Chains A and B, each alone.
Chain A
Amino acid sequence: MPLKMFSEERKKEQPRVKHIIAVAAGKGGVGKSTVTANLARALHWLGFTVGVMDTDIYGPSIRKMLPESQLPAQNGQAISPALCQGISVISMAFFRKESESSAVRAPIANSIITQFIKNVAWGNLDYLLIDFPPGTGDIQLTLSQQANLTGAILVTTPQEVAVMDVRKAMHLFDLVQVPIVGIVENMSYYLNPQTKEKVHLFGQSGGERLARDSGVPFLGGIPIDASLCKSGDTGVSIFDEANIESKESAEHFLRLARQIVAHVEALTTSSKDCLKGFELIWQEMK
């Protein structure tokens, strides 16, 4: 038998998304998209390749916060994501006018999400952040079951009304066995610029208490900052060197990103030899 002239054709390496992280709350208005956009920027700033999937079909806001330099493109079934400040992004906002509503029923919304999960060609990513829509319904279930989530970050604000809904999101992730990376408390306090005193406008330590009660890591608090709000409206990065007023917010998000990296790495490596869920039924011993 003649010898082969060449070894077998090397298999083309498949692009890989290392960690898929849900950013969820169960509640609207706590700042999931703000946290997602700025966490993505912080991870990118730390040298990771990052993608963001905005799964809020009815009120997508990621495009406003992360304005694109390159629009998404379609090649057959595959969708190339948009490029925004070095971050790959897909959002329903690219397929609708800003003022136009997505008046679709749940099955259509679900099929859009399934397309986002299956057809977007992300390439190699270290982190894909999925900005969840509010609630614990159809889309959240689809994402939890299909998106191969590494874990979930829960965003809350300090007040009990927000914490209450975040508990529901946590319950959903428990049901579908998605590990919770930790809890982020957004709008933790307002730092009075004159007195440097922390003013707890929405109560104190709701996120920390929730973390303690549920045995989930508390990843940190993000204070209310006008520059953060401005960055969301203008799309100017809080990591932009010219954006001096947002330096403090940038520090908070870098701290948060480092925490998340540590927890996610630990989650993936240490969990290999660990019990994922157990029930020890007590026996009578002699």
Chain B
Amino acid sequence: MNIRKTPILVSSIKQKDNHTFSIVWSDGAVKDYRLSELQKRCPCANCVDESTGKRILNDANVNADVRAVKIVSIGRYALRIQFTSGCSTGIYGYDMLYQL
């Protein structure tokens, strides 16, 4: 059964350096996220084939230097990252981010 007793939320988010941001999760866990690593996991329709679930984006094409323009919250459950590479529609669920 899909019981998730405590949905994980963001207590605070801050930019750490030019390529990394940091999240303090509601359970106190602190995690750093490098933007290039997140773009490799981008779940948007340009990066993942919707019908097969197969990744279209080749990891080798992700620039290690990629940065963000902005990061916005979607409801209470996810982030949307606008990358400098132009990719901006992927929704990164808190669950997924928390488990990275």
Contact = CB atoms under 8 A, between A and B. Distances in A.
A215 interface: yes
B70 A279 contact: yes
Interface string A260-282: 00110011001101111111111
Contact of A214 (B9, B14, B78): B78
A276 B12 CA distance: 10
B54 interface: no
A212 B78 CA distance: 10
A282 B18 CA distance: 8
Interface stretch (A78-86, A90-98, A109-117, A216-224): A216-224
B38 to A, nearest CB: 13
B15 interface: yes
Interface in A235-285: 255, 258-259, 262-263, 266-267, 270-271, 273-285
Interface residues of A, number: 35
A215 B9 contact: no
A213 B91 contact: yes
A174 interface: yes
A180 interface: yes
A216 B91 CA distance: 11
Nearest to B9: A274
Contacts of B5: 262, 266
A179 interface: yes
A107 B11 CA distance: 41
A263 B77 contact: no
A173 B14 CA distance: 27
Interface in A193-237: 212-220
B76 A285 contact: no
Interface in B46-100: 67-78, 91-95
Contacts of B21: 280
Given A270-B9, A280-B15, A180 B4 contact: no
A270 B93 contact: no
Contacts of A279: 70-73
B10 A285 contact: no
Contact of A285 (B7, B18, B43, B69): B18
Contacts of B94: 215
Nearest to A280: B71
A42 B93 CA distance: 29
Contacts of A273: 11, 26
A78 B1 CA distance: 42
Given A214-B78, A220-B2, A281 B70 contact: yes
B71 A282 contact: yes
B90 to A, nearest CB: 10
Contacts of B92: 215
Given A215-B74, A215-B75, A270-B26, A280 B13 contact: yes
A280 B70 contact: yes
Given A214-B91, A215-B78, A280-B70, A270 B15 contact: no
13 contacts: A179-B76, A180-B75, A212-B93, A215-B91, A215-B92, A220-B1, A263-B7, A273-B11, A275-B13, A279-B71, A282-B71, A284-B18, A285-B18
Given A274-B11, A282-B69, 14 more contacts: A174-B74, A179-B75, A214-B75, A214-B77, A266-B7, A270-B7, A271-B76, A273-B26, A274-B9, A277-B73, A278-B72, A278-B73, A279-B73, A282-B71
Interface of B: 1-7, 9-15, 17-18, 21, 26, 43, 67-78, 91-95
Interface of A: 173-174, 179-180, 212-220, 255, 258-259, 262-263, 266-267, 270-271, 273-285
